[in-house]
Amino acid sequence: MTTIHLAGGPTAIIEWGGLRLLTDPTFSPPGIYESAPGRPLTKLEGPAVTAHMVLPVDVVLLSHDQHADNLDPAGRAILRSVPLTLTTPEAASRLGGTAVALGAWENTELHAPDGSSPTVTAVPARHGPPGCEPLTGPVTGFMLHGPNLPTIYISGDNASLDVVTQIRQRFGPIDIALIFAGAARTSLFDGAPLTLTSVDAARAATILDASHVVTVHIRGWGHISEGPDAIDEAFAAAGLSDRLTNLAPGERAHWPDPPRRPPAPTKDQRLRGDPNMIGHTDLHYGPSARDRLGDAVDPSVKGAHAALESFYYALNHRDADTLREVWADHPAAQLNNPLGGILRGDDAIADLYDKILTGPVRLQVTFDDVVEYLGDTHAVFAGREVGTYTGPEGTAVPLEIRTTRYFRYEQGHWRQYHHHGSIDDPAALAAYQTAVTG
């Protein structure tokens, strides 16, 4: 069971995977708090949950430390009682103590009571309009993910839908999105919103394909310009009311954990490539994938992973030569693709990918939620590709493809022999085919 308990403002207690996590601690009473000389912020409401009621906490997820509405004096005090605070490199340097820096896309494993190691990944956030960073400072969001656990996106003080799109491309659909909204406005940038407006929060939920959304930081401070009613209206207008949980301070929401998946292979098993091994993995290859064809000569599963990662490097970076190297030069190599039907042979497969890579459509996808099936000389990876394609008009269109890829180790190298992909939604399939093939 996953629980989110709203203390007030941006402060929520998350119970997830047997761990107790706290976002942006703000436990001071109402009053005026200066984030910087001449920049006072007015707190209108005290917390519905006091600091002593929150402890013990395993981890604080701190989006930034430079603004009092995200870390007030009482919130700073609580950090001394928490064994780990994850935050931006700049904030970690200022805070010291148990604060640990995570740059964008960096991650760390936590240690859950059941012995598992769920992951926290830092994700980008932009606290205002483009170019705001010199004045508002660096901010981070977080993604919580792990086997048999819901993925939780914590936006931090973010005002950018482009950032949200990047996160969707990396992680696919989100189970629970904790979105900082409220359209915070100050004298900076002629009053432009420093966090998501209500309409943009609904758009973010759509981009993320979030099953559940909890909005926070939408009341309790004087610079919040859009409150709970505006959130309700925006989500209703977008047809997303059934996904929204609009908590009042002190309220909780609960969600059951997803069904348990096959256990992930142990590290030793993965390195040995034990035959006939099946397991759900943490493989995750997208725009940040690397060209590792040189490592694909390793006969263990490490070599298969290198070949798979190299494929997604080539696909996302439009590298036709590397992509052709990943595929086996064999007349029975087969691609069952939403665009090309059934194609056999290296030349036919390469021709289709040339059309994808050199045409007007820009494809960005991430392969994750992967179950691998390993043998002595074969590896099957089944999961999903999630991302976007962008046509000549510049609009990013969400894309999700159920995907299976088969690799064999022959003649000293792992190569791909088969791919099957399918798009479930007929309208989405037709739109993708039209965009790529005309």
DSSP E strand boundaries for 251-324: 252-255, 277-280
Distance CA(297)–CA(169), nearest Å, equals: 29
Selected residue with higher pLDDT from 269 and 246: 246
pLDDT value of residue 275: 46
pLDDT (mean) for 91-103: 95
pLDDT value of residue 260: 56
- Please tell me whether the peptide bond between 193 and the residue prior to it is cis, using omega within 30 degrees of 0: no
What is the tens place of the pLDDT at every residue in 58-86? 999 999 999 999 999 999 999 999 999 99
pLDDT at 254 over 90: yes
What is the tens place of the pLDDT at every residue in 192-244? 999 999 999 999 999 999 999 999 999 999 999 999 999 999 999 999 999 99
pLDDT category of residue 417 using cuts at 50, 70 and 90: very high
Asked if 78 and 68 touch (Cβ cutoff 8 Å), the reply is no
Q: Which residues lie closer than 8 Å to 245 by C-beta, 6 or more apart?
A: 4, 212, 213, 214, 253
Domains for the chain: give ranges and CATH numbers.
2-255 (3.60.15.10), 267-437 (3.10.450.50)
pLDDT value of residue 300: 86
Distance CA(141)–CA(62), nearest Å, equals: 8
pLDDT value of residue 37: 66
pLDDT value of residue 271: 46
pLDDT at 314 over 80: yes
Query: How much is the mean pLDDT over the chain?
Result: 90
Q: Which of 19-33, 104-118, 131-145 has the lowest mean pLDDT?
A: 104-118
pLDDT (mean) for 179-194: 94
- Nearest Cα residue to 43 out of 21, 75, 69, 11: 69
pLDDT at 428 over 90: no
Distance CA(20)–CA(58), nearest Å, equals: 5
pLDDT (mean) for 418-432: 89
pLDDT at 180 over 50: yes
- Kindly report the pTM of this predicted structure: 0.64
